C-alpha cells in the first residue's frame, strides 16, 4: 500500500509504502548489505531467504492486527530504507519500540528523517504516545538524527549487545508523541 510520496534532498522521488511478499528478495539483499558494512544494528549475521520469509509473513500478519508497522522508502524500485514500530502490550500498548535504517547509497539525503516522521504519524494514529529506541553508543550519526527528531536519552543498558567477543552498552532514548 502506498502511504505517501516525498522527495529526498536532491529532489528525487521517494515512495513511502508498506511491504508485501514481493519484497522478499529485495529485503534480504537490503538487510544483508547492512550486515556486510557492519552497520550498528542488532542483526549481526546475514539473513537467509527462509528466515526473512517467515519474518516477513509474521510482520504482514502483525500489521493487519495493528501491533506492528513497517514502512519502505522505495527509490526507483530499490529499497532505500526501512523503518518500523512495534507496540507494547496491555498497560504498555501506548509505548512502541522504533527502528530505522537507510542503505549506504541513499544516506544523508533526508530519507531516515522522512521515514521516522511517517512512522510517528502512524504510531500516533494507532494510539502510541511514547516511542523508545536503543542505539549503540558508537553510532554517533544515528544519535545525532534521533536528537534532531526530538529523542532524549533516558538510560543505558550495560552489556546489552553482544559485540564480537565482548559486549557493548545500549543507549536508551525516548520521545513523546502527544
Ligand X SMILES: CC(C)(COP(=O)(O)OP(=O)(O)OC[C@H]1O[C@@H](n2cnc3c(N)ncnc32)[C@H](O)[C@@H]1OP(=O)(O)O)[C@@H](O)C(=O)NCCC(=O)NCCS
Using CB under 6 A as the criterion, which residues of the chain lie in contact with ligand X when the complex forms? 39-41, 100-102, 107-113, 135, 139, 141-142, 144-145, 148
**Measured from the CB of residue 114, what is the shortest distance to ligand X in angstroms?**
7
Cβ proximity to ligand X, 38 vs 65, nearer residue: 38
**Measured from the CB of residue 46, what is the shortest distance to ligand X in angstroms?**
15
Which residue in the shown chain puts its C-beta closest to ligand X?
112
**Measured from the CB of residue 91, what is the shortest distance to ligand X in angstroms?**
26
Cβ proximity to ligand X, 61 vs 147, nearer residue: 147
Residues 112 and 119 sit within 8 Å (Cβ to Cβ): no
For 1, 27, 81, 99, 157, the CA distances from 103, given in Å and listed in that order, are: 21, 11, 6, 14, 27
Q: Considering just the CA atoms, what is the radius of gyration of the chain in Å?
A: 16
Cβ proximity to ligand X, 25 vs 148, nearer residue: 148
Q: In what order do the strands lie in the sheet with 166-176?
A: 2-7, 13-17, 68-75, 78-87, 95-102, 130-135, 166-176, 152-163
Cβ proximity to ligand X, 93 vs 150, nearer residue: 150
For 83, 108, 141, the CA distances from 6, given in Å and listed in that order, are: 15, 15, 22
**Measured from the CB of residue 145, what is the shortest distance to ligand X in angstroms?**
3
Amino acid at each position: 500500500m502506498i502511504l505517501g510520496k516525498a522527495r529526498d534532498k536532491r529532489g528525487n522521488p521517494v515512495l513511502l509504502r508498506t511491504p508485501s511478499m514481493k519484497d522478499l528478495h529485495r529485503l534480504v539483499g537490503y538487510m544483508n548489505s547492512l550486515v556486510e558494512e557492519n552497520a550498528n544494528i542488532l542483526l549481526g549475521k546475514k539473513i537467509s531467504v527462509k528466515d526473512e520469509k517467515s519474518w516477513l509473513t509474521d510482520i504482514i500478519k502483525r500489521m493487519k492486527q495493528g501491533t506492528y508497522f513497517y514502512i519502505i522508502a522505495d527509490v526507483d524500485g530499490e529499497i532505500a530504507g526501512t523503518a518500523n514500530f512495534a507496540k507494547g502490550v496491555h498497560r504498555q500498548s501506548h509505548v512502541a519500540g522504533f527502528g530505522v535504517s537507510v542503505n549506504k547509497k541513499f544516506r544523508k539525503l533526508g530519507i531516515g528523517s522522512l521515514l521516522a516522521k511517517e512512522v510517528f504519524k502512524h504510531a500516533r494514529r494507532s494510539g502510541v504516545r511514547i516511542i523508545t529506541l536503543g542505539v549503540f553508543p558508537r553510532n554517533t550519526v544515528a544519535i545525532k538524527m534521533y536528537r534532531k527528531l526530538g529523542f532524549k536519552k533516558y538510560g543505558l543498558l550495560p552489556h546489552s549487545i553482544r559485540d564480537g567477543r565482548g559486549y557493548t552498552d545500549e543507549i536508551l532514548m525516548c520521545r513523546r508523541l502527544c
